[in-house]
Amino acid sequence: MSPVDAARLASLTREFLAAHPPATTDRTAFLRARFDAGLAWVHFPQGLGGLDAPRSLQAAVDAELEAAGAPDNDPRRIGIGLGMAAPTILAYGTEEQKRRFLRPLWVGEEVWCQLFSEPGAGSDLAALATRAVRDGDHWVVDGQKVWTSSAHTARWAILVARTDPDLPKHQGITYFLCDMTDPGVEVRPLRQITGEAEFNEVFLTGVRIPDAHRLGAVGQGWEVARTTLMNERVSIGGMRLPREGGMIGPVAATWRARPELRGPALHDRLLTLWVEAEVSRLTAERLRQQLAAGRPGPEGSGMKLAFARLNQRISALEVELLGEEGLLYDDWTMRRPEHVDFTGREAGYRYLRAKGNSIEGGTDEVLLNVVAERVLGLPAEPRDDKDLPWKDLAR
């Protein structure tokens, strides 16, 4: 196939729609066919959902398909797979792994979760204690993971585990793809301040993972995990939004619709936050354009940090604007949602849910270090434990 430019891609999209009319094609069949046609991730290789086209052309494809009434793949439900597992599998997976996992992941037939954080190794992920011991063609995994979004609906998980405790903490880690239906995997809900259990804790007891489901080389897990984390931060902080998309939209709408709630001090704060939200939206667009040239870098950490802090300030203003009404929302009962919802539902929910933005995808403190060291070039903080064997670290 000749190189795919915008005109060629537009022609391919129209040909695809003519062959698969959205109104008369089964949803799953449509999504599978879209993947096979290379219109899922246009920048991915041919045969893996893409056409080796510039990443910047994806938006035009999405817009044309949406205008034609095509179904989407419910990206909120499968966001971890799309934003974290897929780019990592593409970067480090074998050809067999790519062909096995990417298509059902994008179509939404298999939901993914992330088994990274642990009770004793949250911000310091490299200090993780979950062990994986080689047993022939398998690895036997024992440990506990926490704050796992969507574990209760996931079929697969990206997992990091310690395979060599004699090495320093960053060097003795290996990355795996874990089948969540395997014996020894137990998922328990973690009820949050919102009343729901979007997060989970996961216990792994004698879980046998085939070596064929190892991603990257033995001991390469930290490098592979960094690819995942950089993509995660971009997917959270750099998501595509229209003007007044995200958290700023509902509070701006309330301000316009209910003049009795307005006050001079609140007006100035809302105007400041509206401008900051628009600056953040445009900066995220620029970041996505930079991604067209390669993998995400540390700049995504800055975007995710800004996303968290801005969401919290906007949601606090909305609750203050609404007064007592802002503390209410429709359902405080324990629910197990199928997707992460950063900005949905009522003001009271948004205010409480936004508190988690400072933790998920990397804590604010960790991201400040990333920005300081890798973006601004400031001296690194002293890390006395960096070269010590993991087994000798205080835990």
Tokens of 162: 């310690």
Query: Using CB atoms within 10 A of its CB, is residue 139 exposed (0-12), middle (13-18) or buried (19+)?
Result: buried
pLDDT at 297: 65
Picking from 364, 309, 351, the residue whose alpha carbon sits closest to that of residue 194 is 351
The angle formed by the CA atoms of residues 116, 216 and 187, to the nearest 5 degrees, is 30
For residue 107, what are the CA distances in angstroms to 22, 31, 33, 99, 378? 15, 6, 10, 13, 42
Residue numbers in the chain where pLDDT is lower than 70: 1-2, 122, 233-239, 288-297, 331-333, 340, 342
- Give me the amino acid identity at 152: H
CB-based contacts of 345: which residues, under 8 Å, 6+ apart? Answer: 329, 330
Picking from 394, 395, 391, the residue whose alpha carbon sits closest to that of residue 168 is 391
For residue 325, what are the CA distances in angstroms to 186, 263, 346? 39, 17, 10
Q: What is the largest CA-CA distance in the chain?
A: 71
Are 112-220 and 225-375 equal in CATH topology? Answer: no
CATH superfamily of 225-375: Butyryl-CoA Dehydrogenase, subunit A, domain 3 (1.20.140.10)
Question: What is the rounded distance in angstroms from the CA atom of residue 239 to the CA atom of residue 231?
Answer: 11
pLDDT at 295: 60
Q: Which sign, positive or negative, has the C-alpha torsion 105, 106, 107, 111? A: positive
The ranges assigned to domains in the chain are 1-72, 112-220, 225-375
Question: What is the rounded distance in angstroms from the CA atom of residue 269 to the CA atom of residue 135?
Answer: 60
- CA 202, distance to chain mean position in Å, is 18
CB-based contacts of 109: which residues, under 8 Å, 6+ apart? Answer: 28
| Helix, strand, or coil (residue 159) | strand
* N-terminal to C-terminal alpha carbon distance within the chain: 56
Tokens of 385: 């434990």
Active-site amino acid positions: 232
Give, to the nearest 10 degrees, the angle between helix 299-322 and helix 221-237: 40
Question: What is the rounded distance in angstroms from the CA atom of residue 77 to the CA atom of residue 199?
Answer: 14
- CA 175, distance to chain mean position in Å, is 17
The angle formed by the CA atoms of residues 181, 183 and 186, to the nearest 5 degrees, is 75
Question: What is the rounded distance in angstroms from the CA atom of residue 193 to the CA atom of residue 332?
Answer: 9
Question: What is the rounded distance in angstroms from the CA atom of residue 304 to the CA atom of residue 311?
Answer: 11
Query: Using CB atoms within 10 A of its CB, is residue 5 exposed (0-12), middle (13-18) or buried (19+)?
Result: exposed
CATH of segment(s) 112-220:
2.40.110.10
Report how many helices (DSSP H) and strands (DSSP E) the chain contains, helices first: 12, 8
Chain segment 342-378, per-residue pLDDT in tens:
677 789 889 988 988 888 777 888 888 888 888 888 9
